[in-house]
Amino acid sequence: MTETQLVQLPTRTQPGSELSAQENAALIGVENVTKVYNVGHADYPALREVNLKIERGEFVSIIGPSGSGKSTLLNIIGALDRPTSGRVKINGINLKRLSDDQLARIRNRKIGFIYQSFNLIPRLTVLENVEMPLMPRKMSQREREKRSRELLDTVGLGRKLRKHPTELSGGEQQRVAIARALVTKPEIIIGDEPTGNLDTKTTRQVMDYMAKVNRSGITVVIVTHNPEVAQYTPRIISVRDGEIEKDELVPKLGSF
Ligand code: ADP
Ligand code: MG
């Protein structure tokens, strides 16, 4: 473990068309992104001129102190929020060109979200929670249920379909949330402190599962302030005061 070597990633910028998806574009491109919050009469810059590229298949963690801008950055990467200035591209498509409806469609089609507090709907069953993101789709109820059951089996909850979230442990609830995030077959999974409410053992289970999801080809980006969680990912981006302070590749022993 002590032989782990830190490599500084070169910062590259790649100009490109803003109108259509590009074959060779990064999966996610964040270009000169600034996000300013208006607090009372003052403008507070939560992100300052951030540049970053995430390629297909990467497993990335974003770390940094509380208030450094991690969630703001993740919400912008996940198309949940728009930058004040600068550009965000997914598959080379500039999100600024899209209407709110088109953006919502991209979110639903391409991105799965996992949150610290699980964000499950308490009055729905486990199965219904997982089916939720498939509701906007033209798909039979049978098909929705089939797909959701399969994923709940995969995360080891096949026997708890009819339970309600409050009847489950924190780790189980997060596994429901992971199944819900995967049910749409997204290209990207993003998680904001997905292990923030879990004990050490459950944190490891959830991270082992995230690593498995990544090995299946899905790009995974998580925000964490737990250094042990960041150790699961080969790339660690450190944010401080709204800026990227470090962007490191940490080769994993035995991975080549
Ligand atoms: P982190 O996730 O790293 O803790 P955030 O991205 O949530 O940090 O916040 C970065 C900064 O932006 C913080 O100072 C926070 O108070 C501020 N901020 C975040 N969201 C808002 C908002 N909706 N309105 C005003 N200020 C905000
Ligand atoms: Mg946060």
Q: Is residue 255 part of a domain?
A: no
DSSP H/E element including 235: strand 235-240
Q: What is the CATH number of the domain that holds 115?
A: 3.40.50.300
Q: Are 213 and 189 in contact, with CB atoms under 8 Å apart?
A: yes
67 lines ligand 1 (CB under 6 A): yes
Within 13 Å and on the Cβ side, how many CA atoms surround 143?
7
Average pLDDT across each block of 10 residues of the chain; the chain has 256 residues. List them in order. 34 41 86 95 95 97 96 95 96 92 90 94 98 93 97 95 97 95 95 94 93 95 94 96 96 56
Please report the pLDDT score of residue 20 as a whole number. Answer: 57
Other beta carbons within 10 angstroms of residue 105's beta carbon come to: 14
Domain range spanning residue 127? Answer: 16-249
Please report the pLDDT score of residue 13 as a whole number. Answer: 36
Please report the pLDDT score of residue 40 as a whole number. Answer: 87
**Ligand 1 pocket mutation pick from 35, 37, 193 by most atoms within 8 angstroms of CB:** 37
43 lines ligand 1 (CB under 6 A): no
Listed residues: CB within 5 A of ion ligand 2 = 71
CA of 143 to the centre of ligand 2 (A): 35
CA of 47 to the centre of ligand 1 (A): 9
How much is the pTM?
Answer: 0.88
Please report the pLDDT score of residue 251 as a whole number. Answer: 76
Q: Is residue 1 part of a domain?
A: no
72 lines ligand 1 (CB under 6 A): yes
Other beta carbons within 10 angstroms of residue 102's beta carbon come to: 13
Beta bridge partners of 34: 85
Please report the pLDDT score of residue 234 as a whole number. Answer: 96
77 lines ligand 1 (CB under 6 A): no
DSSP string, 6-74: -EEPPP------SSS--TTS-SEEEEEEEEEEEETTEEEEEEEEEEEEE-TT-EEEEE--TTSSHHHHH
Please report the pLDDT score of residue 176 as a whole number. Answer: 96
Q: How many domains does the chain divide into?
A: 1
Q: Is residue 2 part of a domain?
A: no
Within 13 Å and on the Cβ side, how many CA atoms surround 174?
24
- Cα torsion through 200, 204, 206, 209, rounded to 10: -170
CA of 175 to the centre of ligand 2 (A): 21
